[in-house]
Amino acid sequence: MDEEARANVEIWKYALGFAAMGVVKCAIELGLPDAMENHDGPMTLSQLSAAVGCPTGSLHRIMRFLTHNGIFKKELNLSKSQDLESFYYSQTALSRLLTRDKMGPFVLVQAGPPSQSAGLTAKDLKSGKGSGVQNINAPSEDIFWNMFEVDPAFYKLFQQFLASHAKIATTAVINYCPKAFEGIRCLVDVGGHEGIGIGMLVKAFPWIRGINFDLPNVIAGASPIDGVEHVAGNMFESVPKADAVMLMWILHDWSDDLCVDILKKCKEAIPADTGKVIIVDAIIDEEGGDEYTGARLAMDMTIMSATIKGKERTDKEWAQLLNIAGFSRHTIKHMKAIESVLEAYP
Ligand SMILES: C[S@@+](CC[C@H](N)C(=O)[O-])C[C@H]1O[C@@H](n2cnc3c(N)ncnc32)[C@H](O)[C@@H]1O
């Protein structure tokens, strides 16, 4: 890898580092290293779940991140079929140092008092956050997108973050997947924020007329962009009609049920015979992956901490979602980026 390619991978460690450290903190708070220390031998997911009182859905995601980073070990029990219970988790020299009688309290103190530390907490996880089940503390999923009314300074920073993300991700899409945009006369970017992504696409592929579709408060702050019409609305109600729909960094914010609702609205917006939905989001590879796998798993932890039921998905989970939403087939193109491109056809 050359220096620039390495930097493109490395930068995610810093960008997502807080969430990553938050997960280590949660692992100690939940008592995962202690539970394993007290157990006689390796533990299955359900044994661990019972020992620390955390639902298996979120525990699986946390353990996927922690084993990828060498904090715990995951071994396959060959005598069992390939499901989540066919794996055993065990300690490493590192996790043994994270028990409450060794360095665990040291790490917790660095995170600060619970009232001041941001990100995931053991309490969140125990109450269902990230587990795919209803979180009793936050039954509604739209909290994230409304919370900025409370903190305008953070909202401004968040807008800058989304603008930089749109530039980075759209550059990858243009470089690695230009064919996806051939023959599209009108493309709607659903949740396109202030239109940076669709603006870049329209410039790179000038035969496209762009629609940037987002919530009314977001569209109200968007500047005019050549070749792009800004349209305000709610993707859970309807999506403007177009030849194709793009969903970039949208579906990972929402539960499976709400993703199916969004995908069905997108399907209604495109022609049944020639239309497609272009999804730009991460695909988690649980069997190894590439140099971006660590960043994708860290992003899953960020999504777990920042949303109510959002998650990064494996290719199987994507296939299931698209199938339930009524798409007949899809293709996947990987890029040298945290995201991949899925093209789904009615
Ligand atoms: C994570 S951002 C992604 C922005 C952009 N696509 C990108 O990749 O940088 C999610 C976007 O979805 C928008 N959004 C949230 N709920 C929405 C809704 N119900 N209808 C339309 N857009 C929505 C948000 O305002 C935000 O701009």
Known catalytic residues are 252
- Summarised one tens digit per residue, pLDDT across range 24-82 is 999 999 999 999 999 988 999 999 999 999 999 999 999 999 999 999 999 887 666 66
Residue 67: strand, helix, or coil: helix
- pLDDT, greater one: 138 or 64: 64
- pLDDT, greater one: 10 or 241: 241
pLDDT confidence of residue 268:
98
Among protein residues, the one with the nearest Cα to ligand 1's atom 27 is 193
Beta strands in 136-266 (DSSP E): 186-190, 209-214, 228-232, 244-248
333, containing H or E segment: strand 329-334
Among protein residues, the one with the nearest Cα to ligand 1's atom 23 is 191
* Mutation to probe ligand 1, out of 147, 149, 156, 162 (largest number of atoms < 8 A from CB): 162
Judge contact between 234 and 215, C-beta under 8 A: yes
pLDDT confidence of residue 117:
67
Fold held by 3-134: Arc Repressor Mutant, subunit A (1.10.10)
Among protein residues, the one with the nearest Cα to ligand 1's atom 5 is 192
pLDDT confidence of residue 205:
98
- Summarised one tens digit per residue, pLDDT across range 295-304 is 999 999 999 9
pLDDT confidence of residue 146:
59
pLDDT confidence of residue 111:
84
Buried b (16+ CB within 10 A) or exposed e, 283-306: bbbeeeeeebbbbbbbbbbbbbbe
Give the distance from CA 28 to its chain's centroid: 23
Query: pLDDT class for 128, splitting at 50, 70, 90?
Result: confident
pLDDT over 80 at 95, yes or no? yes
Query: pLDDT class for 119, splitting at 50, 70, 90?
Result: confident
pLDDT over 60 at 135, yes or no? no
pLDDT over 80 at 241, yes or no? yes
pLDDT confidence of residue 182:
98
Residue 55: strand, helix, or coil: coil
Taking alpha carbons only, the member of 198, 30, 206, 19 closest to residue 104 is 30
CA–CA separation, 95 and 25 (whole Å): 12
pLDDT over 60 at 142, yes or no? no
Domain definitions of the chain by residue range = 3-134, 146-345
Average of per-residue pLDDT values in the chain = 91
Percent with pLDDT over 90 in the chain: 72
Sole residue written with tokens 């109200």: 220
pLDDT over 70 at 248, yes or no? yes
- pLDDT, greater one: 5 or 239: 239
For residue 166, which atom of ligand 1 is closest to its CA? 9
SS (H, E, C) 263-322: HHHHHHHCCCCCCEEEEEECEECCCCCCCCHHHHHHHHHHHHHHCCCCCCEEHHHHHHHH
With a 6 Å cutoff on the Cβ, whether 193 touches ligand 1 is yes
pLDDT confidence of residue 145:
59
* Average confidence (pLDDT) over 311-317: 97
With a 6 Å cutoff on the Cβ, whether 236 touches ligand 1 is yes
pLDDT over 80 at 213, yes or no? yes
* Average confidence (pLDDT) over 242-267: 96
pLDDT over 60 at 224, yes or no? yes
With a 6 Å cutoff on the Cβ, whether 72 touches ligand 1 is no
Structure tokens at 293: 């796998």
CA–CA separation, 208 and 184 (whole Å): 6
pLDDT over 90 at 113, yes or no? no
Fold held by 146-345: Rossmann fold (3.40.50)
pLDDT confidence of residue 101:
96
pLDDT confidence of residue 309:
86
Count CB atoms within 10 A of the CB of residue 188. Answer: 26
Query: pLDDT class for 140, splitting at 50, 70, 90?
Result: low
pLDDT confidence of residue 25:
93
Judge contact between 30 and 100, C-beta under 8 A: no
pLDDT confidence of residue 289:
85
CA–CA separation, 246 and 17 (whole Å): 29
